Amino acid sequence: MMKKRTLDIDGLASFYNDYEVIKFEDPNELKTKSTVLKNQMEELVNFVLPCLVKLGENNETMPVGMLLASLVSENRVSKEKFIEVQMNLKAMKELDALLGFDKKMSGILNALV
């Protein structure tokens, strides 16, 4: 079940703050957190992607990286949490290269990391 978030910088910050890091290399954790993983993957496609699109409409010249960095510079997400989530999304992207997620999922991972 997706949490109701606003399609703005606050909603994006809440996704980062609520994100649960998953150790993809640990088979037991993958099993116990499979629902969390599924929900977060759904949220990446169904919330983060449209949120970035909407934020991009308001600021077409700002690259996604700068937009994401503003989460930290504006104190919406701690630097530690932001790095932790980005590293985890990077690990998910490596899984995508192996397993081949759907195109939307690959697209959002490529946009974020």
Q: pLDDT tens, 33-88?
A: 999 999 999 999 999 999 999 998 888 888 888 999 999 999 999 999 999 999 99
Cα 23 from Cα 81, distance rounded (Å): 15
- State the chain's maximal CA–CA distance in angstroms: 43
Per-residue pLDDT, 73: 96
Most confident of 13-17, 31-35, 55-59, 98-102: 13-17
Q: What type of residue sits at position 49?
A: L
Per-residue pLDDT, 83: 97
Cα 73 from Cα 71, distance rounded (Å): 6
Per-residue pLDDT, 50: 94
pTM: 0.91
Per-residue pLDDT, 56: 87
Give 14's contacts (C-beta < 8 A, 6+ positions apart): 3, 5
Per-residue pLDDT, 61: 83
Give 2's contacts (C-beta < 8 A, 6+ positions apart): 39, 42, 43, 46, 47
- Band (pLDDT 50/70/90 cuts) for residue 1 is low
Tell whether the model's pLDDT for residue 2 goes beyond 80.
Answer: no
